């Protein structure tokens, strides 16, 4: 049964409001703990953002850590109407003379004309051999020309079927079969097992043929026109056959590509430190966070340390130096390009890991892997510590809440007792007053 309380009826005091204010004063430590808890949560969130930025920096470093990664190469063709070329990561500098003698082509066959796509081609076994492998399509019951094309496309690998309409009112629909490019894609179709309809009679309109080219005097045969295995690291796209016409393919260092990779490395580094500068300052989410401060110091030490064994010992010598008044780096593109032109190997060795040489990109990659290790990395340790602090605060708040509930109950009991006492005294006073009044009137 609920209890109705009339606050301050006897005393005239708003005892309920007094209790609320006293309890509010008692809750001040809880508010302080809640603010502290939110601060820890903000740190966890900021560390997650920092880790994401750090991993992006690591990705940029990994793009420079090996000789192959750093050696951004560019391939060019002297006649792109005949031959186009792209260089992969495992390409090597060099020049090649290539003549495209013939292009690879796919075998094509075409059927006689049908009046529409619903004509019955018969039922039974249709045997198709592609690249020496035999396939049997069993047509059960009447099968239309359109259904046959669908069956071929769904069930025969290396062969595509389409229906071409030439606009003729009679016999305008033709079944066209196309194999894969190259002699390996040749096919045959045996329709002798079909009956009860108009089986397609196929005529070869194009013969399967391999591409033929000559690379530095060496004859090469290929099954397609997009070739990735002829020259290591290069993809050749054959566009037009011009027998006897040499196309010069040149593979060389892509200075612009290397510059872009290094600039991306610097930009990722700056993204990390711009975030750190913002969040470590007074009022920032990571103010006073030891893990974040330690991380920044470690990365700065790696980047500023001297590198031995080469013509360049510091990043500043190739155009990468600290901006005055900040922890960020600035990238002098012109100075970098000059250094790259003067001594490509020395610039490369500042970044890569090879034969005992450990450059900046390799060191950063290792450092970030250590920092982000899921078992004992700096982020794992820092987050665990913050979560423990939050758990302790939650326990403390829970104890405070129980104490305050008891405090409120005690206050309410005492004020009710006070109201009861005052009410009793008032009743007694009223009684005495009435007795005095009656006594005076009777006399």
The pLDDT tens digits along the chain (443 residues) read 444 444 554 556 677 888 788 878 888 888 888 888 888 999 999 999 999 999 999 999 998 988 777 777 889 999 999 999 998 867 888 899 999 999 999 999 999 999 999 999 999 999 999 999 999 999 998 999 999 999 999 999 999 999 999 999 999 999 999 999 999 999 999 999 999 999 999 999 999 999 999 999 999 999 999 999 899 889 999 999 999 999 999 998 888 888 999 999 999 999 999 999 999 999 999 998 988 999 999 999 999 999 887 789 999 999 999 988 889 999 999 999 999 888 888 898 899 887 778 889 999 999 999 999 988 888 898 889 899 999 999 988 888 888 888 888 888 788 777 777 777 777 777 767 777 666 666 55
The confidence score (pLDDT) of residue 193 equals 96
The confidence score (pLDDT) of residue 1 equals 40
Please report the DSSP string for 301-369 in residue order: HHHHS---SSS--SGGGGTEEEPTTSS-EEE-HHHHHHHHHH-HHHHHHTT-EETTEE-HHHHHHHHHH
Assigned token pair, 26? 């008692």
Q: How far is residue 204's CA from residue 178's CA, in Å, rounded to a whole number?
A: 10
At 112, give phi and psi (nearest 5°): -65, 170
- Biggest CA pair distance of the chain: 150
Cβ-contact 83, 366 below 8 angstroms: no
The confidence score (pLDDT) of residue 4 equals 42
The label of the residue with tokens 């500068």 reads 277
Q: Which residues contact 165 (CB under 8 A, 6 or more apart)?
A: 172, 173, 174
Cβ-contact 12, 422 below 8 angstroms: no
Assigned token pair, 203? 């005529």
The confidence score (pLDDT) of residue 353 equals 85
The confidence score (pLDDT) of residue 364 equals 94
C-alpha dihedral sign at 268, 270, 271, 277: positive
Q: What is the DSSP secondary structure assignment for residue 114, as one 8-state letter?
A: B
Using DSSP, state whether 27 is helix, strand or coil: coil
The confidence score (pLDDT) of residue 72 equals 73
Rounded alpha-carbon distances, angstroms, from residue 212 to 37, 71, 75, 91, 422: 72, 31, 21, 22, 114
The confidence score (pLDDT) of residue 316 equals 94
Cβ-contact 119, 179 below 8 angstroms: no
The confidence score (pLDDT) of residue 441 equals 61
Which of left, alpha, beta for 367 (phi over 0: left; psi -120 to 50: alpha)?
A: alpha
Question: Virtual CA dihedral for 368, 260, 95, 77, nearest 10 degrees?
Answer: 130
Q: How far is residue 22's CA from residue 160's CA, in Å, rounded to a whole number?
A: 85
């Amino acid at each position: 049964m609920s209890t109705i309380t009339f606050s301050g009826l006897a005393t005239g005091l708003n005892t309920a409001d007094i209790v609320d204010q006293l309890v509010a004063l008692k809750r001040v430590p809880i508010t302080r703990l809640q603010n502290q808890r939110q601060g820890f949560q903000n740190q966890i969130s900021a560390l997650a953002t920092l880790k994401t930025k750090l991993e992006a920096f690591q990705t940029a470093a990994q793009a420079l850590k090996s000789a192959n990664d750093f050696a951004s190469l560019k391939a060019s063709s002297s006649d792109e109407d005949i031959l186009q070329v792209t260089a992969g990561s495992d390409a090597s500098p060099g020049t090649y003379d290539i003549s495209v003698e013939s292009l690879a082509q796919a075998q094509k066959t075409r059927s006689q004309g049908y009046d529409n796509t619903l004509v019955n081609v018969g039922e039974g076994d249709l045997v198709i051999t592609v690249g020496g492998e035999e396939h049997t399509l069993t047509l059960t019951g009447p099968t239309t020309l359109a259904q046959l094309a669908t069956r071929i496309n769904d069930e025969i690998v290396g062969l595509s079927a389409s229906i071409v309409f030439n606009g003729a009112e009679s016999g305008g629909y033709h079944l066209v079969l196309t194999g894969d490019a190259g002699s390996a894609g040749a096919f045959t179709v045996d329709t002798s097992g079909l009956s009860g309809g108009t089986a397609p009679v196929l005529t070869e309109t194009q013969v399967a043929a391999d591409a033929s080219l000559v690379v530095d005097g060496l004859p090469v045969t290929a099954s397609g026109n997009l070739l990735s295995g002829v020259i290591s690291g290069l993809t050749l796209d054959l566009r037009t056959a011009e027998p006897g016409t040499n196309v010069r393919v040149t593979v060389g260092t892509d200075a612009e590509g290397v510059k872009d990779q290094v600039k991306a490395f610097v930009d990722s580094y700056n993204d990390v430190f711009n975030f750190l500068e913002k969040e470590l300052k007074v009022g920032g989410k990571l103010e006073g966070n030891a893990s974040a401060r330690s991380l920044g110091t470690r990365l700065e030490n790696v980047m500023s340390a001297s590198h031995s064994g080469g013509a360049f010992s510091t990043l500043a010598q190739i155009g990468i130096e600290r901006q005055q008044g900040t922890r960020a780096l600035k990238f002098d593109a012109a100075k970098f390009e000059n250094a790259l032109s003067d001594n490509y190997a020395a610039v490369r060795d500042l970044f890569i890991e090879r034969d005992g040489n450990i450059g900046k990109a390799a060191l950063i990659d290792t450092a970030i892997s250590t920092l982000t290790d899921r078992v004992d990395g700096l982020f794992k340790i820092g987050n665990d510590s913050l979560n423990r602090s939050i758990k302790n605060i939650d326990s403390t708040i829970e104890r405070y809440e129980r104490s305050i509930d008891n405090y409120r109950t005690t206050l309410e009991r005492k004020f009710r007792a006070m109201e009861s006492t005052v009410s009793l005294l008032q009743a007694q006073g009223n009684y005495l007053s009435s007795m005095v009044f009656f006594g005076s009137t009777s006399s």
